[in-house]
Amino acid sequence: MHRLAVLALACLLLATPTTRAQDSLSLSCAVCHGARNAPSTVPSFYGMSTAQIESALRDFRSGAREGTAMPRLAKAMSDDEIRALAYEFGAPVR
């Protein structure tokens, strides 16, 4: 029990700084995914909802979804980073 509590606390502490990671991480996305309305052959996430982006990244990370560049990157992303990216780029809910 004690062990679990320590683990939970450690996770919390670890999670705190990663919520800011989206800054330097998310700025790199445009290098391949470009701007919002640009036509693209690289699959675009613009227009996807926050939930859709989050599940796509999770699937890349788990291997459930195949891809070229994205699985390599997603495999190193924390839950917080995935959530932050999804929030950053997810289409606003109307």
Partner 1 sequence: MTPPDRRRRALLLAGLSVAGLPLAAWALKPVRERPRLIIVGGGFGGAACARQLRYLMPAADITLVEPRAQFFTGPSTNAALASVCAEGDIVRGPAALEALGIRWIREAATALDPVARRLRLASGTVLDADRVVLSPGVAMRWDRIAGLDATTSERMPHAWLGDAQVSRLRERIESLRDGATIAISAPANPYRCPPGPYERASLLAWRLSARRLKRCKILLLDAKDDFTKRALFQVGWDTLYPGMVEWVPHAKGGEVLEVDARRNTLRLQNGSRLRVDLASVVPPQRAADIAVAGDLVDESGWCPVNPASFESTRHAGIHVIGDACIAQPMPKSAFSANSQAKLVALAIAAQFAGGPAPVPRLVNTCYSLLAPDYGISVGGLYGVVSDRLSTLNDGMSPLGAARELRAREAAYAHEWYEQITRDTFG
Q: What residues make contact with partner 1 under the rule CB under 8 A?
A: 17-18, 20-21, 23-25, 27-28, 30-36, 38, 40-42, 46, 68-69, 71-73, 75-77, 81, 88-89, 92
2 versus 42: smaller Cβ distance to partner 1: 42
Angle at 13 between CA 12 and CA 16, to 5 degrees: 85
Q: Whole-number minimum distance, CB 30 to partner 1, in Å?
A: 5
Q: At what angle do helices 2-18 and 79-89 cross, to 10 degrees?
A: 40
Closest to partner 1 by CB, 9 vs 27, is 27
Instruction: Give whichever of 3 and 38 is closer to partner 1, judged by the CB atom.
Output: 38
CA dist list (Å): 75 to 5, 60, 64: 26, 7, 12
Backbone angles phi and psi of 49, in degrees to 5: -80, 165
